Chains A and B, each alone.
Chain A
């Protein structure tokens, strides 16, 4: 049999003698005591701030905060995971397909066909890289990607194009991280974690969030502010006709199916609305001039898109019930490809209430036909301030955001407003129209006011995102974990309770079985836990609920070291050895077993540490340090205690084990 022992049993006798020489001497014992005292001192020092913090009342905390000492104290205590203190953990990922479509330059029928194909492959194989799919599809179709995505250095081969796109994606993520950091700072959260993982993802961790939805919106809304001119009415009507035709031609069956519910619903509830109102814009064209016919499904089938809309006089309305149907039609690729390149169709962010013919009210979103290119974007914004409209103004009491532009923005804004007096301009935030006022006069001072917010808080959130800037790419939340503060507190309580009960049970069992020795084992177990907590505080590692479970588990495991030793001592003792040599033999023989057993557990702890995330990593950290300190307290300290009792000036007559 091959031998790879750390401590070769053949030399057992030597070790025994050595030990008597070494550890029998009180000088050596002094070094052991010194080491233990230093260790204990460190542990107490490391845990002091945590103990101090735990005893503070809320009033004390406020007082310390005013003195500016709270932060300093908080940076020394054991850090609690989000699952214990409540908070939000998000993983954000750049939406590569959307980003790439956003930066595409030249859009033709072939482009749409190609992107549809790539999208189809991607939706079936979401684990593949979108750009790889694009590259492969382009190569098989012998399509030149550089036609749609020109590169800086005018390279034309497809690989160069996708490499370039890859680079742009990565840069976008890096910029997005910066902007999110700015937004979170503005939002005001203590110790936020914002970090890049890989080249597509960003982790955001915010502790103690009251309103997760609001925080989420602030973080991942693009916040792209645009000032765009509206198309005129005739142009818009032409577009509606085109969409009607496209919907009818391409998939009447699908659309009928999609909207039957919506349409029939409308017929039953909106009977009083006449066709002229429904297809109001068509009156100008004289297509549907008979004004009193009710909407029926046949007509909806004839002009499926118009049938979903209402004329609100000044605006084109989309009844709330039709919102999703309209959205779906507008994003359908068969529809988008019949639209001109210089057009965007947008919906309002909020609904407006309008009185209907029968005196009731109905809620509508508004549909806007605007230029593709914005006249001005949020980059021009220098300052933003949310407030309620002043008493003397038109927007009295309304939440609004006052915007001031930078020098260049001011120039563009003056030119834009001056050249388009009496035209309408949409102020658009993240593709939703906030407001679309008429330009009354030239605005030379670079100021403007944005209205259309539901509350002051919403306006304040917009202030934050406008200040921090727009995200360079669409970002999706792909993982979200939120824990409420109450549940966190509950978890701590449960965790501490379990740990204490577990400790009591272990104490009972081990003291009943091993008597005096059991007491020593229990003492070392408590020390082990103290050491683990101390190292967590020193390293600023995070204690999570699974981490507390880890503490409970290492109680069970650290007992094992002692059990192994004690069983050996008993065996030797029963063979008739002296107390002293039974103890020495027990400890030295058990060491091999303890090392082998613990080192392998250490391996699994490290694997968990590496692969786990958040709470699980917290478990791995505790398990890891629990095993390390098990050698210190379960072996070294307990041995020192045994040596003291069995080798001292008044050695024990009887072994209590």
Chain B
């Protein structure tokens, strides 16, 4: 039988100080980056117009840019998205009369509009507040579910791990200034679900092992549980990673943002369920044990 790990026994919880610091550093840097340069909101959230246009004759991005600035559209973002195909983004202020301006700008050219996304600034800001609400509600529901099924400390560990995953992925999107769109947001919520999946599998083992190995120190039980579920974690993460990778490669530009966010999320989610969610239980128990002892 093919096995990735034969009786694995890695000291995972022992490295928790190091991994906590690593996560904290990335998250803090991410927060700084969010304050300094923020997120690169796409038209979904910032408002504006994004058009994918295919031309039937060769035209350069420079030529297009010149046409746009002639017609009073200062400096739209123009990216090539294929052969004689461009993705043109106009910001919210300039996009109000974009229909007329576009007609003028492109008059005389043979082109077809492949895709147009035009979002008013009002809708954009509504989307932002709705998204924050959606992620918040998802986290609260999960907190309730795990508290009912496990214990509060498990729930808090899980939610911290999820918040960790969202923050780290957000940090990467902010560092690299990748476009933050609605599909990326959907990926974030999926990451929450996926990472939770991982965390719960580990928690389940911990819960089971606490009963089997009574008297053993918690950190040992947790380490054992992580090791026991290690091959499952790796196989599942690997398959999910691979299918999402296929999506990123072949899914086209519409799904690219989603796939990239998912790829990062799968890695971060796997890491967090082993190195964040479980070790937090130890930190939590230590704290309360001290309190209990003080009471006595």
Interface residues of A (CB under 8 A from B): 1-2, 4, 9, 83, 91, 126-127, 212-213, 216, 476-484, 486-487, 490-491, 494-495, 497-498, 501-502, 505-506, 509-510, 512-515, 545-546, 549, 552-553, 555-557, 559-560, 563-564, 567, 570-571, 592-593, 596-601, 603-605, 607-608, 610-612, 615-616, 619-620, 623, 657
A495–B1 CB distance below 8 A: no
Inter-chain contact A213/B138, CB cutoff 8 Å = no
Contact status B250-A556, CB under 8 Å:
no
Q: Whole-angstrom distance between the alpha carbons of A614 and B122 in the complex?
A: 18
The number of chain B residues with a CB under 8 A from chain A is 75
| Across the A-B interface, the 8 shortest Cβ-Cβ residue pairs | A556-B240, A604-B193, A478-B120, A601-B193, A502-B243, A611-B134, A480-B118, A482-B116
Given contacts A4-B149, A546-B186, A607-B141, contact A498 B250 (CB under 8 A): yes
Interface residues of B in 229-265 (CB under 8 A from A): 229, 231-232, 235-236, 238-244, 246-247, 249-252, 254-255, 258-259, 262
Chain B: minimal CB distance from A576 (Å): 15
Given contacts A592-B204, A604-B138, contact A1 B151 (CB under 8 A): yes
Which chain A residue has the least Cβ–Cβ distance from B204? A593
Q: Is the CB of B130 within 8 A of A611?
A: yes
CB atoms of A83 and B190 under 8 A apart? no
6 contacts between A and B (CB under 8 A): A1-B207, A487-B52, A494-B250, A494-B255, A596-B203, A604-B189
B-side contacts of A506, CB under 8 Å: 239, 242-243
A605 touches B2 (CB 8 A): no
The interface residues of chain B lying within 8 Å CB-to-CB of A616 are 182-183, 185-186
In the bound complex, do residue B197 and residue A597 qualify as a contact, i.e. CB atoms below 8 Å apart? yes
B119 at the interface (CB under 8 A from A): yes
Q: Does B211 contact A (CB under 8 A)?
A: yes
- In the complex, the answer to whether B115 meets A600 with C-beta atoms within 8 Å is no
Nearest chain B CB to A261 CB, angstrom units: 11
Of residues B145, B232, B249, which shows the largest number of chain A Cβ atoms within 10 Å of its Cβ? B232
Residues in chain B near residue A482, CB distance under 8 A: 113, 115-117
- Cβ of B247 to closest chain A Cβ, rounded Å: 5
Q: Is B133 an interface residue (CB 8 A)?
A: yes
Cβ-defined contact, A1 with B210, below 8 A: yes
Given contacts A4-B148, A4-B149, A607-B134, contact A502 B242 (CB under 8 A): yes
Contact B238 A509 (CB under 8 A): yes
Once bound together, how far apart are the Cα atoms of A457 and B282, in whole Å? 73
Chain B residue with the shortest CB-CB distance to A509:
B239
| Nearest chain B residue, comparing its CB with the CB of A217 | B99
Report yes or no: B149 in contact with A596, Cβ–Cβ below 8 A: yes
Q: In the complex, what residues of B have CB within 8 A of residue A487's CB?
A: 52, 114-115
Q: Is the CB of B232 within 8 A of A553?
A: no
Question: Cα distance A571–B8 when bound, in Å?
Answer: 13
Q: How many angstroms from the CA of A553 to the CA of B137 in the assembled complex?
A: 23
Establish whether residues A607 and B255, one from each chain, have CB atoms under 8 Å apart when the complex forms: no
A510 to B116, CA, bound (A): 41
Asked whether, in the complex, the Cβ of A510 is within 8 Å of the Cβ of B134, the reply is no
Chain B's nearest CB lies how many Å from the CB of A257?
Answer: 16
Answer whether A494 and B208 are a contact pair too, CB < 8 Å, given A484-B113, A557-B197, A603-B141: no
Instruction: Provide the residues of chain A in CB contact with B71, threshold 8 Å.
Output: none
How far, in whole Å, are A510 and B138 apart by their CA atoms in the complex?
Answer: 31
Pairwise interchain contact A607-B137, C-beta atoms closer than 8 A: yes
Given contacts A4-B148, A545-B254, A623-B190, contact A126 B122 (CB under 8 A): yes
In the assembled complex, B42 has its CB within 8 A of some CB on chain A: no
Evaluate contact between A564 and B201: CB separation under 8 angstroms. Answer: yes
Option from B130, B190, B236, B252 in Cβ contact (under 8 Å) with A553 = B190
List, in ascending order, chain A residues with CB within 8 A of B134's CB: 607-608, 610-611
Asked if A601 and B116 make an inter-chain contact with CB atoms under 8 angstroms apart, the answer reads: no
B125 within 8 A of A: yes
Seed contacts A480-B119, A514-B2; 18 additional CB < 8 Å A-B pairs: A1-B151, A4-B150, A212-B113, A486-B114, A498-B251, A549-B251, A549-B255, A549-B258, A549-B259, A552-B244, A556-B244, A557-B240, A563-B239, A593-B200, A604-B138, A607-B189, A611-B131, A616-B182
* CB-based contact A498/B246 at 8 Å: yes
CB neighbours of B116 from chain A (8 A): 212, 480-482
A599, chain B: closest CB distance, angstroms: 7
- On whether A601 and B243 interact (CB within 8 A), knowing A91-B123, A657-B1, the answer reads no
Shortest B176–chain A CB gap in Å is 21
With known contacts A513-B2, A557-B240, A608–B189 Cβ distance under 8 A: yes
**Nearest A residue to B98, CB-CB:** A480
Judge if B171 is at the interface, Cβ distance under 8 Å.
Answer: no
Q: Mark B126-170, 1 if CB is under 8 A from A, else 0.
A: 000011011001100110011011110000000000000000000
Contacts of A619 in B (CB 8 A): 186
What is the minimal beta-carbon distance from A549 to any residue of chain B, in angstroms?
A: 5
* B residues in contact with A502, CB < 8 Å: 242-243, 246-247
How far apart are A444's CB and chain B's nearest CB, in angstroms? 41
Verify A563–B232 contact, CB threshold 8 A: yes
Other-chain contact of A597, B1, B201, B238 (Cβ < 8 Å): B201
Per-position contact with A for B192-218: 1 when CB-CB < 8 Å, else 0? 111011001101100110110000000
Given A91-B123, A486-B112, A556 and B243 contact (CB-CB distance below 8 Å):
yes
Given A546-B183, A557-B240, A600-B193 contact (CB < 8 Å): yes
B196 touches A597 (CB 8 A): yes
What residue of chain B has the Cβ atom nearest to residue A614's Cβ?
A: B182
In Å, the complex CA distance between A523 and B194 comes to 23
* Cα of A480 to Cα of B44 in the assembled complex, Å: 11
- Chain B neighbourhood of A83, CB < 8 A: 254
Q: Which residue of A has the minimal Cβ distance to B202?
A: A593
Bound Cα distance A494, B236 (Å): 24
Q: Is the CB of B243 within 8 A of A513?
A: no
| B253 nearest CB across to chain A (Å) | 9
Asked if B121 is an interface residue, CB under 8 A from chain A, the answer is yes
Kindly name the residue among B54, B231, B252, B254 whose own CB sees the greatest number of chain A CB atoms within 10 A: B254
- In the assembled complex, the CB of A367 is this many whole angstroms from the nearest CB of chain B, namely 20
Please state if B114 and A484 are interface contacts (CB–CB under 8 Å).
yes
**Which residue of chain B has its CB nearest to the CB of A505?**
B242
Residue of B nearest to A560 (CB): B236
Q: How long is the Cα–Cα vector from A525 to B236 in the complex, in angstroms?
A: 14
**What is the CA–CA distance of A596 and B155 in the complex, to the nearest angstrom?**
12
CB neighbours (8 Å) of A603 from chain B are: 138, 141-142, 145, 193
Contacting residues, chain A, for B121 (C-beta < 8 A): 126
**Contacts of A479 on B, CB cut-off 8 Å?**
118-120, 123
Complex Cα distance, B249 from A494, in Å, reads: 10
How many angstroms between the C-alpha atoms of A560 and B234 in the bound complex? 10
The closest CB in chain B to the CB of A573 belongs to B1
Q: Which residues of B contact A213 (CB under 8 A)?
A: 99
Chain B residues whose CB sits within 8 angstroms of the CB of A514 once the complex forms: 2
B197 close to A600 (CB less than 8 A): yes
Residue from B99, B130, B190 having most chain A Cβ neighbours under 10 A: B190
CB distance from A512 to the nearest CB of B (A): 7
Chain A residues within an 8 Å CB radius of B251: 494-495, 498, 549
The smallest C-beta distance from B246 to any residue of chain A, in angstroms, reads: 5
Interfacial chain B residues near A476, Cβ < 8 Å? 120
Give the docked Cα–Cα distance between A549 and B259 (Å): 9
Is B255 a contact of A556 with CB atoms below 8 Å? no
B236 touches A556 (CB 8 A): yes
Q: How far is the CA of A528 from the CA of B137 in the complex (A)?
A: 28
| B239 & A564 in contact (Cβ 8 Å cutoff) | no
Report the minimal beta-carbon distance from A410 to chain B, rounded to whole angstroms. 38
CB distance from B210 to the nearest CB of A (A): 6
A residues less than 8 Å from B141 (CB atoms): 603, 607
> B residues 1-49 with Cβ under 8 Å of A?
1-2
**Closest chain A CB from B40 CB (angstroms):** 19
In the complex, residue of chain A having the shortest beta-carbon distance to the beta carbon of B236: A560
Residues of B within 8 A of A486 (CB): 54, 112, 114
Q: How far is the CB of B108 from chain A (nearest CB, A)?
A: 17
B133:A611 contact, CB within 8 angstroms? yes
Is A546 a contact partner of B255 (Cβ separation < 8 A)? yes
Chain B residues contacting A657 (CB-CB under 8 Å) are 1
Tell whether A596 pairs with B204 under 8 Å between CB atoms, given A127-B122, A495-B251, A560-B236: yes
